[in-house]
Structures are given as structure tokens and as C-alpha cells.
Amino acid sequence: FSKGPCSSAAACPSVAMADGALPREPGASDTPDLGQADTIDAGFVLDKLRTRHAHDAIYTRCGSVLIAVNPYKRMGLFSEAVLAQYKNAHSLPAEPPHTFEIASAAHRAMIHNGRSQAIIVSGESGAGKTESARHMMLYLRYVSNTSPELETRLYGSDPITEGFGCAKTVRNDNSSRMGKFTALNFDPSARIQGASLNTYLLEKTRVTQCGPGERSY
């Protein structure tokens, strides 16, 4: 990501392209990696995130960290063409920032190093943590050629956690009020063989007392 602000929509086009793939440069004077900037003070970071968000560039790198800003609308960033783009990428840092990039880096490191990998997704209520986790799961299922049966089982746990662990907050009508640890099990050929999900830090105080404008489970 370069240092100058975008002066117009033409200079900073939407991230999604007509063919479904993502351009390598979201904007001619854009800054996709804050870690390469001369300064990372709060004002500079907020200005860059605001400018990129205004041009539908909702992902920004900061070194090995990916910052995702909720677009509050549907984006054409998760098609099969984009999945293939990150699967076949020779250099992930050369690609635009994306949740698929994070998932691909973890998957490649697992294969190369032969060790388990961890991805931490954090943020405020309504920031898009659940959706970001789903997108990374989508990529991992795509690159590991998950069977339809296993894919159905992986998706099948969502309604349970959504129904018993989510509640309305002032920022999000369906906010996950618990922590979630999802473990994917891969075989030696890097194909998903199964998964497990554990919940923790359930916000039990919500059962007895809710803030104004909020609800219990």
C-alpha cells in the first residue's frame, strides 16, 4: 500500500474486477501494507482505512496482520475465480490483501513445515469476525477438495452455535457472544479429514442482565 491518498474513484477503483479476479494494485496511489509506511500513527492508519473502505478495498495488511473493515454490503470478493487466484499464486504478498491470503499462507506453512498452524480472528461486535472465519474455511475446503458430505457436516454446526451463542447488541443484531475454537484435521496429503468446535468465554452475565437496546440469548 503506497502513502498517498486516493484523489478520486478512478484513481482507486473497486477491488473486484469484471472477470472475478482481484487486481494486484487496488489503487495507483494506495497503501495496501501499513507495515511499509513511514509512520503508523493512529491518524494515518484511520485515514488509510477510511480511504480504502470508501473504494471497496475492505482489506489492508499490517505486516502479517490482516485488517478487515465490514463493508455492510455484499462484495464480489469470494468467487471461485478469486479462490483459484490465491491457490495458484506464486507469491502471496504480491496479491491484494484478502482473507484467502491468510488461509493460504497457513495452509502452505502447514505443508512446508509439517506443523499445526493457528489463525486468530478478533474484533469488536459487528466487525465481521464470523464472516472472516467462514471465508477462510471456504478457502481451506476449496484447496483440500473436501467431500460434499464432510462440507455439509462442517456447515451443519453453524445453526447450533448461532442459535445458542448469539444475541442482539447495539452494534449487531446477531452478535457472537462467545469465543469459538475450530480445529481442522488434515491427513498427510493436506486434505481435511474432520473438524471439531469448542466454545468458551460464553457471556453468561447476559442471561441475567442486558444493556439498553440489547437482548439475551
- List strand residue ranges (DSSP E) for the chain, in order: 59-62, 65-68, 166-167, 175-176, 179-186, 192-200
Average pLDDT of the segment spanning 66-77: 89
Residue 94 Cα distances to 49, 78, 139, 185, 191, angstroms: 19, 18, 18, 29, 26
Strand boundaries in 5-162, DSSP class E:
59-62, 65-68
- pLDDT value of residue 197: 82
User: What's this model's pTM, rounded to 2 decimal places?
Assistant: 0.79
The answer to whether the beta carbons of residues 217 and 166 sit under 8 Å apart is: yes
> Cell 486468530 belongs to which residue?
120
**Confidence label for 6 from pLDDT (cuts 50, 70 and 90):** very low
CA 210/CA 61 separation, integer angstroms: 36
Residue 95 DSSP code: S
What residues have CB less than 8 Å from 217, skipping those under 6 apart?
164, 165, 166, 167, 177, 206, 207
- In sequence order, the 6+-apart residues with CB closer than 8 A to the CB of 41 are none
What pLDDT is recorded for position 14? Answer: 32
Report the residue count for the chain: 217
How do residues 126-163 score in pLDDT, each as one tens digit?
788 888 998 999 999 999 988 778 777 777 777 777 77
